[in-house]
Amino acid sequence: MNLELSEEQTAVRQLAKDFVAREITPNVVGWDRAEEVDRGIVKKLGDVGFLGLTIDEVYGGSGGDHLAYCLVTEELGRGDSSVRGIVSVSLGLVAKTIQSYGTEEQKREWLPRLTAGEALGCFGLTEPGTGSDAGSLTTRAVRDDGGDYVINGSKMFITNGTWADVVLLFARSTGAPGHKGVTAFLVPTDTPGLTRRTIHGKLGLRGQATAELVLEDVRVPASAMLGPEGKGFAVAMSALAKGRMSVAAGCVGIAQAALDAAVGYAAEREQFGKSIASYQLVQELISDISVDVDAARLLTWRVADLIDRGEDFATAASKAKLFASEAAVRCANNALQVFGGYGYIDEYPVGKLLRDARVMTLYEGTSQIQKLIIGRALTGVSAF
Ligand code: FAD
């Protein structure tokens, strides 16, 4: 086993570090307070190639392997999870799924714009009444006499929702029960009947556009269907399996940022006439963060390696997402403890890290759902 990065991976990681230092770090506090990151960041992410990682160059992608994708995602997560999420969703959940399941026409229509940052994608699975039990979703797509589909329903907590140009939407289009009746559609967000409402008051990820989508008689042609009819749930689960690696990498970034901040502050802050770094209980906090960072990163890199070698990776992705998300919360919380009262105000970075980390154990499958996926793989018995 060789964990040394290739020249290309080292270069892309440095590119991401420089990008974060230049475009993100100076704005983090302002964006968080304003509850909106500057939309210009999307085009910049496209220009530098971060929205096209792992996508074929023929569709405007920037190529690269999944470890390179993890390295970039980690750096963006270290900088600002609100920005990281834009990439994880538009590239990770939408563009990569179009690349895997799309027709040639769908790929040519969407991928060049998505990878360039000229269009943004969002992923519409969750509904007000169905979160963990996504297979029971109720949004309905009914085929009319002309062959179009007419969609009615609503979607909840949709990242990029108000900014997106296309929603990868999951709707029930056949009479089959549960997940068997679900079909995926690519719905342009300017289609008449689709309205969007920003969800305000989030604990973290404040700069990110999270929305509720309402669909009233939204008409799309049959050519908007992504993958076969009735196979939409498999499309969603395959997107989320890879998506979990991206969330895990973002969590490694949060944990690394917590470590860097805690080490820096402990060296500067003095109490009882000595640097607090000299106290064993403070060193314990820092050491616990550091072990979590390493363990989360190794679990995440393993997923990238499995994907790049064409091996099964879904259970490993659930393990990485479960561990890294819980670790990110622990690390940010431990770092806040190192900062004392200063950790509680937003002039210092750790409070935001904790607020942003908290959602990671909830979305793309809660920690409980990851445990059930891992348990199913080990026992062969499904708890769902
Ligand atoms: P519920 O499913 O109601 O769960 C509530 C609690 O019950 C949880 O603790 C859960 O673990 C537990 N639980 C549920 N079922 C079981 C079970 N069988 N066994 C044990 N425990 C169980 N969704 C999208 O489709 N697209 C997005 O872009 C997106 N972005 C999001 C962004 C944010 C900021 C947030 C907060 C959410 C986002 N989501 C998105 C939705 C997210 O994926 C859901 O919130 C998540 O799947 C959980 O669903 P829920 O909130 O309905 O909770």
Q: Which residues contact 279 (CB under 8 A, 6 or more apart)?
A: none
Give per-residue pLDDT as tens, 109-129: 999 999 999 999 999 999 999
> Would the CB of 70 count as within 6 Å of ligand 1?
no
Q: pLDDT band at 340, cuts 50/70/90?
A: very high
Report the separation in Å between the CA atom of 134 and the middle of ligand 1, taken as the mean of its atom positions: 9
pLDDT tens profile 124-166: 999 999 999 999 999 999 999 999 999 999 999 999 999 999 9
pTM (global) more than 0.95 = yes
Q: Is 17 exposed, middle or buried (0-12, 13-18, 19+ CB in 10 A)?
A: middle
Q: Which residues pair with 159 in a beta bridge?
A: 210
4 tagged catalytic: no
37 close to 80: Cβ distance less than 8 angstroms: yes
CATH 1.10.540.10 domain extents, the chain: 7-120
Q: Which atom of ligand 1 is nearest to 93's Cα?
A: 28
Which one, of 370, 373, 343, 352, lies nearest residue 32 by Cα? 352
Compute CA distances 325 → 131, 161, 248, 349, whole Å: 18, 23, 6, 18
Distance between CA 192 and CA 215 in Å, rounded?
Answer: 9
Q: According to the model, what pLDDT value does residue 175 have?
A: 87
354-359: average pLDDT: 98
Is the CB of 98 within 6 Å of ligand 1? no
- Nearest-CA residue for ligand 1 atom 50 is 131
Q: Based on C-alpha coordinates, what's the Rg of the chain?
A: 21
pLDDT band at residue 1 using 50, 70 and 90 as cut-offs: confident
Q: Using CA atoms, how far apart are residues 76 and 28, in angstroms rounded to an integer? A: 12
Q: Please tell me the residue having the least CA distance from ligand 1 atom 51.
A: 131
pLDDT at position 187, please? 98
Report the topology of domain 7-120: Butyryl-Coa Dehydrogenase, subunit A; domain 1 (1.10.540)
Distance 228 CA to ligand 1 centre (A): 26
Please compute the mean of the pLDDT values over residues 318-335 and round it to a whole number.
Answer: 98
Q: Check if 126 has its Cβ closer than 6 Å to any atom of ligand 1.
A: yes
List beta partners, residue 155: 213
User: How many other CB atoms are there within 10 angstroms of residue 77's CB atom?
Assistant: 33
Alpha helices in the chain (DSSP H): 7-19, 28-34, 40-47, 66-79, 81-87, 96-101, 104-116, 232-268, 280-308, 314-339, 350-358, 367-379
State the span(s) of the chain assigned CATH 2.40.110.10: 123-229
Kind plus residue range of the DSSP H or E element containing 218: strand 210-220
368 lines ligand 1 (CB under 6 A): yes
> Hey, what are 172's tokens?
């029930």
Residues 250-284 pLDDT 10s: 999 999 999 999 999 999 999 999 999 999 999 99
- Mutate which of 126, 133, 166 for ligand 1? The one with the most ligand atoms within 8 Å of its CB, which is 126
Token pair listed for 356? 């942003």
Q: Are strands 194-198 and 270-271 parallel, antiparallel or unpaired?
A: unpaired
To the question of domain 123-229 being in CATH 3.90.950.10, the answer is no
Burial class (CB in 10 A: 0-12, 13-18, 19+), 292: buried
Amino acid at 227: G
Nearest-atom index, ligand 1, CA of 384? 18
Residue 2 neighbours by CB under 8 Å, 6+ apart = none
Q: Which CATH number does 234-379 carry? A: 1.20.140.10
**Average pLDDT value for the chain:** 97
Q: Is 132 in the pocket of ligand 1 (CB under 6 A)?
A: yes
Start and end residues for every CATH 1.20.140.10 domain found in the chain? 234-379
Question: Residue 261's pLDDT is what?
Answer: 98
In residues, how long is the chain? Answer: 384
Please report the pLDDT score of residue 112 as a whole number.
98
Is 198 near ligand 1, meaning CB less than 6 Å away? no
Cα of 133 from ligand 1 centre, angstroms: 8
Which atom of ligand 1 is closest in space to residue 359's alpha carbon? 36
pLDDT bracket for residue 229 (50, 70, 90)? very high
Q: Is the CB of 226 under 6 A from ligand 1?
A: no
Q: What's the average model confidence in pLDDT over 76-100?
A: 98
